[in-house]
Amino acid sequence: MKVRLNKFYLLWVILFSLFACKDDEDNTIEIVNKEIYELMKTVYLWNTQLPVSINTSAYATPADLMDDLRYEEYDRWSAVITKEEFNQYFEEGTMIGHGFMLGLDESENIRIAFVYPSTQAYTQGIRRGWIVSKINGTAATPENVLTLLGDAEVGVTNDITFYDGDGILTNITLAKEEINISPVLFDEVIEQGSDKIGYLVFQDFIDVANDQLDEVFESFIAAGITDIIIDMRYNGGGSVEVAEHLASWLIGKDFAGQPLIKYQHNLNLAASEDTIIQIRENANGISLNRIFFIGTEGTASASELIINGVKPYVESVLAGSSTHGKPVGMYAFSFKDYDYVVLLVCFRYSNGSDEGDFYDGLQPALAAEDDLTKDFGDPDEASLKAILDYIETGTIPLKSAGATGIATRLLETKSPIGQYKKAY
């Protein structure tokens, strides 16, 4: 096996190419499985936990093999996906679907958790908090709703019955489309007394995010914000390059050149790949002594990197519930002649103060619900309210009113790409 170490920023840090020979179409799975096993012995963070030998030909798919090789104690993320899935989301910033995410409220109602702005759904008025009642005449349940929505193919049409934000029954017909993902779901400046609070809902660490982040932060700075809230409650992570860009706006004005991330690999890669990523300079960035975040169990990877990464330099205040707990990073390995991309956990990371290993998630200072009944920016939405109350009073309550600190249950597919791409 030959692995070419050509670095450029895509998934977490690097995309590699695997040159497995395409000698026999009938043996594709066997060849790929063997290469994956050999690769993991070299680069996988927990390579010492792999079996000494394994019959790779006994597995019907690379995904089946990965299920067996994944280190059960910590690894929930290593996976095998198609090149199309990888390229569509991480490189092109597109998806096929209606462009909304679903979650369950405390009464098990299926609610819209968010809608991408660049969609038919958004144009027709569908917003966070709406309840999905029926799809094509069939009552929607937590068990059947994703199946009722159908395949992710352009043109698949659904007649959906909603209860809108006022509780009024509404029928809307939507056709699945190719969507240009808009990572910034919502932004505004909230005025509370003399405070001007920049509020940003950020969903995807993908390449197209950088220009949107620039525009939002420039508007926040022009407005003279006194505080900032970064809402990443469903953001599953993605590109570290985008995380670096976001960090430059948050702390790059005052702390450029300081460590943002420290990578630690296994013994095979430590000497060549262990590195420290420094905070990029951004003379136009914000200069605040605290940053607020909103997180849930759906907040993972690059999102956690940002929350943890700013802590050594400014006060990092997390509201909501415990985050996902992914203090590790992944490399993507693409086969030259086969339609597979292997996503492998290859390093752990810590911040500039060597804080990492938060497998139980980052814990909130302001425990609050993810209130699906209210739209982004509603000052009565529980997680946002917890922060606004703190800004006003200057005190952190023992527990925010009515909060359990447990995130609303989200409806997600078991697809490996689902750890990043949340909408359907």
Break the chain into its structural domains and give their ranges: 3-91, 97-180, 184-330+343-410
Q: Backbone phi, then psi, for 401, in 5-degree steps?
A: -55, 125
Name the CATH superfamily for 97-180: PDZ domain (2.30.42.10)
For residue 349, list its beta bridge partners. Answer: 263
310-347 residue pLDDT tens? 999 999 999 999 999 999 999 989 888 888 999 999 99
Per-residue pLDDT of the chain (424 residues), as tens digits, is: 343 333 323 334 445 555 555 555 558 899 999 999 999 999 999 999 999 999 999 999 999 999 999 999 999 999 999 888 888 777 777 889 999 999 999 889 999 999 999 999 999 999 999 999 999 999 999 999 999 999 989 999 999 999 999 999 999 999 999 999 999 999 999 999 999 999 999 999 988 999 999 999 999 999 999 999 999 999 998 888 999 999 999 999 999 999 999 999 999 999 999 999 999 999 999 999 999 999 999 999 999 999 999 999 999 999 999 999 999 999 989 888 888 999 999 999 999 999 999 999 999 999 999 999 999 999 999 999 999 999 999 887 655 444 443 446 788 766 666 666 667 8
Looking at 252-408, list the stretches that DSSP marks H as alpha helix, in order from N- to C-terminal side. Answer: 270-273, 302-309, 382-393
By CB neighbour count within 10 A (0-12 exposed, 13-18 middle, 19+ buried), where does 289 fall? exposed
Decide: 291 and 267 in contact? Cβ < 8 Å.
no
Residue 405, pLDDT score: 37
Q: Backbone phi, then psi, for 88, in 5-degree steps?
A: -60, -45
Q: Which amino acid is at 395?
A: T
164-212 residue pLDDT tens? 999 999 999 999 999 999 999 999 999 999 999 999 999 999 889 999 9
What fold does the segment set 184-330+343-410 form as a domain? Answer: 2-enoyl-CoA Hydratase; Chain A, domain 1 (3.90.226)
Scan for tokens 């447990």, then name that residue: 406
**Cα–Cα distance measured from residue 150 to residue 317, given in angstroms and rounded to the nearest whole number:** 40
Residue 210, pLDDT score: 96
CA geometry: angle at 375 spanning 386 and 100, to 5°? 125
Residue 84, pLDDT score: 85
**Cα–Cα distance measured from residue 256 to residue 282, given in angstroms and rounded to the nearest whole number:** 7
Rounded (10°) angle between helices 302-309 and 240-251: 30
Q: pTM of the prediction?
A: 0.89
Decide: 334 and 20 in contact? Cβ < 8 Å.
no
Ranges assigned E (strand) in 235-379:
259-264, 275-278, 290-295, 315-320, 328-335, 341-350, 366-367
For 225-246, the DSSP string reads -SEEEEE-TT---B-HHHHHHH
